[in-house]
Amino acid sequence: MLLSDTDIKKHLADKSIVISPAPNLDEALSACALDLRLSNQFQIFEPAKLSYFDPKKANEVSFTKKVTVSGEEPFILHPGEFVLGSTMEWIELPANIAGRLEGRSSLGRLGIVVHSTAALIHPGIKANIVLELGNHSRIPVALYPGMRVCSVSFEMLTSPAEKPYHGKYMGQKGTTKSRISEDLL
């Protein structure tokens, strides 16, 4: 069951859901979701460094470069480009609430997607949320740090998770590249 705006406010007030820095609810809260903002850090893929990507060897070679934009400077996402970004907000969820990440319609209408497959925010997570940003349009799009880039809705589990999230991305700050090689050890 999705939490309503009333329930989201209650969970934020009693700190069972933690969002830091605290969002401006007048701007960010809708009927059943909370908008999150784009941070100023990005991981750009450098295809010239690899002839192909081998998940078993992901930690052996650096295939991304961290880029930080400053001030009012935009990050330009080019057509067909895929980069990692993250939310400004740190999120902590209890064992009985999951989150669901979605793109914002206004950016989607420009061809911007914020997740390829990773829409589920697991119960028990404590982290910045990494965004899988892609540009499906035919023109570059400027993305500004601090802009509302995605929304998260919250769902109550039927009972608290017996094993809340304690995976390889727990505690991630900013952009975190794939750790798939840890699955293949």
Q: Which residues have a catalytic role annotated?
A: 132
In whole angstroms, give the CA distance from residue 38 to residue 164.
26
In whole angstroms, give the CA distance from residue 14 to residue 24.
17
Hey, which residues does 82 pair with through a beta bridge? Answer: 134
User: What do you get for the CA distance between the two ends of the chain, in Å?
Assistant: 37
| Amino acid occupying residue 183 | D
DSSP characters over 87-116: EEEEEE--TTEEEEEEE-HHHHTTTEES-S
Radius of gyration over every alpha carbon of the chain, rounded to an integer in angstroms = 17
